[in-house]
Amino acid sequence: MRKIIFLLLLATLLLVFGNPEPSISLNKDAFRRREKVVVSLKGFPPDTSIALLVRNPLGTPVLVDEVRSDSMGCAQYSFTISDHWVLGEYTIVADTGSPYNCSVSKVFYVKALSLLKISIFQGSGIVFVGDMIRLRGLLRPPINTVVTIELSVDNGRNWTTLANVNTSYGYFYYNWTPVLKGVYLFRARWSGNDKYFETISNVIRISVHARKASVSLQVFPQVILVGEEVTIKGTLVPSIGNAVLKLIYTSPKGDIIEKTVITNEKGIFTDTFKPDVYGIWTVYATCPMDPKCLGALSSKVEFKVKGVSVLDLFVEPRLAAVNDTVLLVCRLSPNIENSSITIEYRLGNGNWTPLA
């Protein structure tokens, strides 16, 4: 009798303050086989029978049972995932039937563990700046999906996405070329699906060493006149593209002229230069800033620039007799000190003969 009075009072309170909406929750959203599922029900009519039904991804019932709510309209139920349950999306339904007609449902997943491995293929075992590194990986299950490759440069404290790559029957590959020396960590991540859990691969560690680059120069032509152009061709070894180098020209007077050049994909660069001073010029190439070729220094290469000179000859007198003295005066422009000048003569159409 007291129980009936209590239930009547509880029902009155629910009518006055409002009956909460029925709800269903699970201890988590995805489970492995043999794991325990805990079902929590709230907001149901008190002391009421609640039917439970679990359907597999094909819609087939795999569990049918019943639980009774307590005086607060709550109930708890648990079951264990069977080894025979298929992987995928399941639905659990809690239903009171008539006269309350309270029904709620919840989706959960039965998943298996996935396997993800990553490795590096590098023939020599030593990686230098500019080398291409080929990463390869394996995902099990062997499905076609997208795997994320992640990179860390601070010993695993922070990870950034390097690339998203497609798998083919679980296999995937990715090529990466380092531009700076250092220690790099790589791993792969798969977000999973409705049948398999998210997984992270093993971590591989790659040490990238700075390669000592060298540069060589050639000059074409090696002798020019003032105002003409000379062509400088350089080659960077190893063949590193988009490397920034400087050409240092030194004039015969010691003046320095700097020019910036950039290599093509084969590590080759060219430059043209028009000297304005005659004499011996030198040029060399250096890589003072770019980490791809830092420290590279070529040998100095010389080229000669000749000036355009004019030589005038004055004869006095223009008409002379045998044994007369004739004055010969030479004027060289521009004035080049200590220059050697040869004066030649000939009789009629004869051969030229050195005179002095």
Q: How far apart are CA 285 and CA 288, in angstroms?
A: 10
The 3-state DSSP composition of the chain as helix, strand, coil percent (nearest 5) reads 5, 50, 45
Q: Phi and psi of 4, rounded to 5°?
A: -65, -45
Task: Tell me, yes or no, if the two domains 2-110 and 115-209 fold the same way.
Answer: yes
Q: Where are the domains of the chain?
A: 2-110, 115-209, 214-306, 310-354
Cα distance between residue 330 and residue 342, in whole Å: 10
* Pick among 3.20.20.70, 3.30.56.10, 3.30.750.24, 2.60.40.1930: CATH of 2-110: 2.60.40.1930
Q: What is the fold of 214-306?
A: Immunoglobulin-like (2.60.40)
Provide the terminal-to-terminal Cα distance of the chain, rounded to the nearest Å: 151
How does pLDDT run along the chain (356 residues), one tens digit per residue?
555 555 545 554 444 345 579 999 999 999 999 999 999 999 999 999 999 999 999 999 999 999 999 999 999 999 999 999 999 999 999 999 888 899 999 999 999 999 999 998 765 567 888 788 999 999 999 999 999 999 999 999 999 999 999 999 999 999 998 988 899 999 999 999 999 999 999 999 998 887 778 899 999 999 999 889 999 999 999 888 999 999 999 999 999 999 999 999 999 999 999 998 889 999 999 998 888 888 788 999 999 998 877 888 888 888 888 888 888 888 877 777 777 888 888 888 888 888 77
CA distance 229 to 226: 8
Q: Does domain 115-209 have CATH number 2.60.40.10?
A: yes
Q: Is 328 helix (H, G, I), strand (E, B) or coil?
A: strand
Contact 44, 73 (CB under 8 A): yes
